[in-house]
Chain A
């Protein structure tokens, strides 16, 4: 922010795009730079697959367009995909042994849209297996290290995406958010991420976890970059995603510079209770003060069923997962056990070998709550409370324009710290689950630093379709602060 960047990897998406259009940089040069940097950062565990020839062929095509002055807002800018988006030109694993070596015969809609906008795909990024997890330790392949402290987790499930952006291995990445999987890793790695309203981005070609919650979104260093990517990623996909909304694509950069004078920011008291670590609270309070300086007003509100969102989410998501993951049976794709007695035995052994612990736990919970005699008491009850939680937000939005609070109760924890205690992981999702259940847009914006100088994220939650407003607020905050442009200390030596 203060000084102009000296390395290609320090430029934001917006800066790279403008330098590419001005032909001060070529797409091939930019792509080679990020690929070299990404290959060299193998210790971070962020990437699962590359295809340099393919990336460079995309870069050559982008340079041809740029040479004819026919480039758009994102032409020639690289990004990388969370490995939950299927791709023809890279393996697609969803972080699972079940899909080790799998290649899709088609690309996701989001991937196609980004390619059409001229972006270059650098590779596939590590994630928790089938996007189930909050620490990235559930990846079947390797853990991801947090660039701010290699002894800590990057968050999850889009942990590879967050770490790669923070370590400047890519200017931007795709993520998916089912219960906080974009917002929480963005917060833990000190970057910016947004989950749009449910139904804005197509789920076609995203390996399904919980279909009524899964939503794609961008992760980058700035709100402006997220706005550019989100504009390219969203839009109706009516024939291929039954829950895609029939609403036209939007330019989410349109309100970035609007004044936020008079904006009413709702502060839910349930987000600031005793479960919130004091260091996170201090940083979040300071960020809220910045908004007040910019003319916004803080309004106390209540989201009374915040705590209930944990059991409700952890019933609904595993129920949907147990159904979605029934396709992994060793017949059409993925792993198949070597020795078995008959078809049923083949299914059982294949699934036992192919799935990791957390995935099995959730399949078990999901199967149980959908089984005969338990459906009404668990799944249906959870769906009813889900409506009450969504109604609570509509009640709150009568008194405020947006809602703000912490993304997570603490900063990123140490690798291994909670890996033996799944329920402790679930409880840490408390602040991201309510907006997920209600299908509302939510974002994480760097808001300072807490314990051990680890990044803290401020969560902004808007009403349906208010992504441009959230991005506007985040952009204004980023013009007043420099948390988003700080460089992780592990990058300073030998970077």
Chain B
């Protein structure tokens, strides 16, 4: 399996990356070199094997927790916005999205 320049353009768009032509060409070559070593993995018989997300599941049950849905953090608006790229009146500014 080999990726094409069109694949790279499609993936870059999904990943919201604007790649230069040089970068795209380089990533195409490097990604294809990487997928050469991935091929071995695809042929492994994994029928009946459950995917492993939290590694400790191998030896004991791991319950993913949800904490109670109550506010636990103090308001730190100023500290959180101290290094934001664009802020006005305590709000994050983004380019216009609705005409």
Known pairs A103-B82, A239-B72, A387-B52; A394 contacts B58 (CB<8 A): yes
Q: Are B64 and A242 in contact (CB under 8 A)?
A: yes
CB of A77 closer than 8 Å to a CB of B: no
Further 20 A-B residue pairs, CB within 8 A, beyond A105-B80, A364-B31, A382-B41 = A198-B55, A199-B54, A212-B53, A242-B64, A242-B65, A245-B56, A311-B41, A314-B38, A326-B16, A331-B94, A348-B17, A352-B17, A352-B20, A360-B23, A365-B34, A371-B14, A383-B51, A386-B55, A394-B58, A426-B37
Q: Are A239 and B16 in contact (CB under 8 A)?
A: no
Q: Mark A305-342, 1 if CB is under 8 A from B, else 0.
A: 00110111011000000100010011111111000101
Residues of the B chain whose Cβ atoms lie less than 8 Å from the Cβ of A481: none
Q: Are A351 and B41 in contact (CB under 8 A)?
A: no
Residues of the B chain whose Cβ atoms lie less than 8 Å from the Cβ of A390: 52, 55, 58
CB of A213 to closest CB in B, whole Å: 8
Residues of A at the B interface (CB closer than 8 Å) are: 88, 101-103, 105-106, 197-199, 212, 238-239, 242-243, 245, 307-308, 310-312, 314-315, 322, 326, 329-336, 340, 342-349, 351-352, 355, 357, 360-361, 363-365, 367-368, 371, 377-378, 380-388, 390-391, 394, 422-423, 426-427, 437-440, 464
Pairs across A and B, CB under 8 Å, 11 listed: A88-B79, A245-B56, A311-B37, A342-B97, A348-B16, A351-B15, A357-B23, A368-B31, A388-B46, A438-B55, A464-B56
Selected from A347, A367, A388, A423, the residue in CB contact (under 8 A) with B37 is A423
Known pairs A308-B41, A364-B27, A387-B51; A332 contacts B33 (CB<8 A): no
**Best-buried of B19, B59, B94 by chain A (most CB within 10 Å):** B94
Q: Are B41 and A464 in contact (CB under 8 A)?
A: no
Q: Are A422 and B46 in contact (CB under 8 A)?
A: no
Query: Nearest 9 A-B pairs (CB), nearest first?
Result: A439-B55, A383-B51, A336-B85, A105-B79, A348-B18, A387-B52, A384-B46, A311-B41, A367-B15
Q: Are A308 and B85 in contact (CB under 8 A)?
A: no
Known pairs A307-B40, A331-B85; A322 contacts B15 (CB<8 A): yes
Selected from B36, B46, B62, the residue in CB contact (under 8 A) with A381 is B46
Selected from B18, B42, B51, B97, the residue in CB contact (under 8 A) with A343 is B97
CB of A5 to closest CB in B, whole Å: 40
C-alpha spacing A394/B57, complex, angstroms? 12
Residues of the A chain whose Cβ atoms lie less than 8 Å from the Cβ of B67: 238-239
CB of B75 to closest CB in A, whole Å: 11
CB of B9 to closest CB in A, whole Å: 11
C-alpha spacing A311/B40, complex, angstroms? 8
A243 closest partner in B (C-beta): B54
Q: Which of B65-81 contact A (CB under 8 A)?
A: 65-67, 72, 76, 79-80
Q: Are A333 and B83 in contact (CB under 8 A)?
A: yes
Q: Are A330 and B85 in contact (CB under 8 A)?
A: yes
